[in-house]
Chains A and B, each alone.
Chain A
Amino acid sequence: MSAPATSIKGRAFGDRVLLALVILLSIIMIAPVLWVIGLSLKENAELMANPNSVFHAPYTLKNYINTIGTSSVFRWVLNSIVVSGGLTLATLILSSLAGYGFARLNFPGRNILFVIVLFGLAVPEQAVLVARHQIFSMLKFHNTYHGLILPGLSASFGVFLMTQYFRAIPKELDEAAMLDNAGRFKIFWKVLLPLTVPAQATLGIFTFLGAWNDYFWPLISATKKDMFTLTVGMASTQTNFAQSEGIGFLMAQAVFAGAPILIIYLFFQKYIVTAVSGAAVR
C-alpha cells in the first residue's frame, strides 16, 4: 500500500521541480521586456546615477513624447505600413490565383512548374541577394516602395499554402458550379475563393509580419533615411548606443515599435502560430 503513496509524493515533487523550471524560463522571457519598459519611463540622468532607480518613482512619459516628436519615426512607420501592406495584398492575389491554377486547372507543363515553384522554397534569400541588388541598381529601384515590395513577390510559400488549401476543397463544388454554367474565373472568384478565408488570413498575417520584421533587404535597398522601414530606421538610431545618453529614449522607441506587433499577435495568435508552423514544416 505504501508504494503508490510514495510514487504520488514523488510525482508531486517532480511536478514542483518542473513548475519551478517553467517559472524560471517565463521570468527570463518577460524580465528583459519589463526592464525595457521600465527604462523607457525614466529620465536619463537619473538612470545614469543609479540603475536601481527603475524600481521606484518618479516615472515620466518624456521619452515617448520625444519618440513621437521625432518626425522620422512616423515616416518609417508609414513606410513599413505601405511596404508590408502592399506586399501582403499582392501576395494574397498572386498566391490565390496560382494556388487555384495549380490545384484545379490543367495546363501544359503544370506538374514540372509546380515542382520548380516548390524548389523555390529551398532557395534562401542570401543566394539571390547580391544579384537582385545589382539588377535593382540597374533598374533604379532602390529607395523606392516597389523596390522594397517586389522581392517578396517571388516567395513560393504562399502559392504552396494556397495550392494545398484549394486541393482540400471537394472537387464536387467545382463540378456543381460547372453544371451551373460558371466559367473558370467565376468558379474561382464566387465559389472557391470565399472558402479560403482562413488560409487568406493565415497567409496575410504571416506575410505582413515577415515584411514588417524584414531587415536585410530594406537595409541594403533603402539607404536614404526617408525610405527606411521601421526596422532599419530603429537600427540606425542605435549607433550612438555606446554613449548611452539616450537609453530611455531608445527604449521608448523599442516599446513604440514592438507594442503594436505584440497586440496584433495577441489578437491573431491562432493564425500566426498556424502560419509560422506551416511555413516551417511545409
Chain B
Amino acid sequence: MTANIEIRNVSKQFGAMTVLDDLSLSIKAREFIVFLGPSGCGKSTLLRMIAGLETVDGGEIAINGERIDHLPPGKRGIAMVFQSYALYPHMTVRDNMAFGLDNIGVARDVIDARIAEAARILEMPHLLERKPGQLSGGQRQRVAIGRAIVKEPKAFLFDEPLSNLDAALRTRTRIELAQLHQRLQSTMIFVTHDQVEAMTLADRIVVMNNRRIEQIGSPMEIYERPATKFVAGFVGAPAMNFVDVAIDRSGDVITVTFADSTVIPTDIASNQVVDGAHTFGVRAEDVRIAPTGQGNVDGKVDVLERLGERTLVYTRLSDGQIIVASDAGNSRVAVGDTVGLAFDGRKSHLFNETGRAWHARRA
C-alpha cells in the first residue's frame, strides 16, 4: 500500500507564535521525502500534523485525495517511527508489533504472518520474545521500524529516527533504510537536521526554515542550484563561502569584484540579475589552491583540516575575509603559507539581500 500526500496551505500556531505559515507540498506515491532544516524550523511539527498528533490550524492535508486532517491519528492509515522509538517497555517485541493490529481486529494468523515477515526483513526473528529493555539502541530502532511495517501503512513517518544512534550505526541504518524503501516501495517522510541523511536518503528534499519551505528538490538540485542563500549555506559541509561583492553586468555574464578589488569572472547570465547588494557564493571544492600569485587572489593559510581524501584549507584574504578551499588529501600546504586561490566561475552563485539566488549556466 502506498499513497500520495497533499499538503495545502497549512499553517500552525502555538499560542501567539506562528510555527508554520501557509505551506503547500505535494508528495508523490512511493517517494522518499526528507524534511530538512535547523531545529525549530517546524519540520517535526509538520510531520506530527500529518500524523494527527498536532492540530492543523489552517489549510488541509489529504492522502490519496481524501481529506484526513479531521481524522484521529489511528484512522489515517499512517505509521510513525519516533525519535525515542516509543516502544511499549512492558511488552515483548512481538506484542509491540501486534498491538496496533490487535486494536483494529486483524486476525491472529494474519498478525503472526506479518510479524514473521517484518522480522525476516529486519533480520530480528531471534529478538521477538525480548522486551525493549533487553535490546541495544540499534535493535530498538529496528523494532520501531518493524512496528511500523506490520501495519502496512499508506505512508511511513520518521521523526529523526537516527539521532539516538552512534555514528557507525547511524551510517549502517541509513543504508538499510534506503534498502527498505526500495523493497517496500512505500511513501516515506523523514525528518532530520542532518544534511548527510537528507542527501543520501531523499528522492526529494524539502528544506525548511523559519516557518516556510525554502526549497523542494532532488538532493543534487538542492546542492548545485540552491534556491536561496539559506539553502546554500545550510546544505553542504563545509558551508559555502560567501563574499559581499560589487557586480558588473555589462557583459554577457556577471563579473564580481571583492572589497579588496579582486575581480572574478563568473558564468552567471547577466540578464536575470536584478540590482541591489550582492553576495557571491562558491563551495570549497570549487576553490582550487594555486601557486602564490597565480590564482584570482592570494590568501594566508590559517587552519588546515585534513580529512584524508581531501584537505580543507582555511585562508584569510588581505581584508580579513575567510575563504575555505579544498586541496588534495596529501596537500603540501602548511599553516602560515601564502597561497593563490583559483575560483571556478562555472560553479559559482550569486545572491541578493532578499536571499534570491542566481546560478552559473550549466556547463
Name the B residues within 8 Å of A195 (CB-CB). 89-90
Name the A residues within 8 Å of B73 (CB-CB). 175, 178-179
The smallest beta-carbon distance between B87 and chain A, in angstroms, is: 8
A191 to B96, CA, bound (A): 10
- A179-B51, A179-B80 known; A191 vs B88 contact (CB < 8 Å): yes
A173 to B83, CA, bound (A): 12
Per-residue CB proximity of A172-196 to B under 8 Å, as 1/0? Answer: 1101111111100010001100110
Name the A residues within 8 Å of B87 (CB-CB). 176
Contact A175 B82 (CB under 8 A): yes
* CB under 8 Å from chain A, chain B span 94-125: 99-100, 103-104
Per-residue CB proximity of B240-257 to A under 8 Å, as 1/0? Answer: 000000000000000000
Contact A179 B78 (CB under 8 A): yes
The smallest beta-carbon distance between A100 and chain B, in angstroms, is: 16
Chain B interface residue number, banded: 20 to 34
Say yes or no: is A258 at the interface (Cβ < 8 Å to chain B): no
Contact B86 A170 (CB under 8 A): yes
Name the B residues within 8 Å of A191 (CB-CB). 88
- A178-B73, A179-B51 known; A172 vs B86 contact (CB < 8 Å): yes
Q: Is the interface of A mostly helix, strand, loop or mixed?
A: helix
A182 to B89, CA, bound (A): 16
Contact A178 B84 (CB under 8 A): no
Partner of A180, one of B53, B89, B90, B99: B99
A262 to B179, CA, bound (A): 61
Say yes or no: is B79 at the interface (Cβ < 8 Å to chain A): yes
Per-residue CB proximity of A139-180 to B under 8 Å, as 1/0? Answer: 000000000000000000000000000000010110111111
The smallest beta-carbon distance between B251 and chain A, in angstroms, is: 58
Contact B89 A181 (CB under 8 A): no
A173 to B96, CA, bound (A): 11
Residues of B within 8 A of A (CB): 51-53, 72-75, 78-80, 82-84, 86-90, 99-100, 103-104, 147, 151
Residues of A within 8 A of B (CB): 170, 172-173, 175-182, 186, 190-191, 194-195
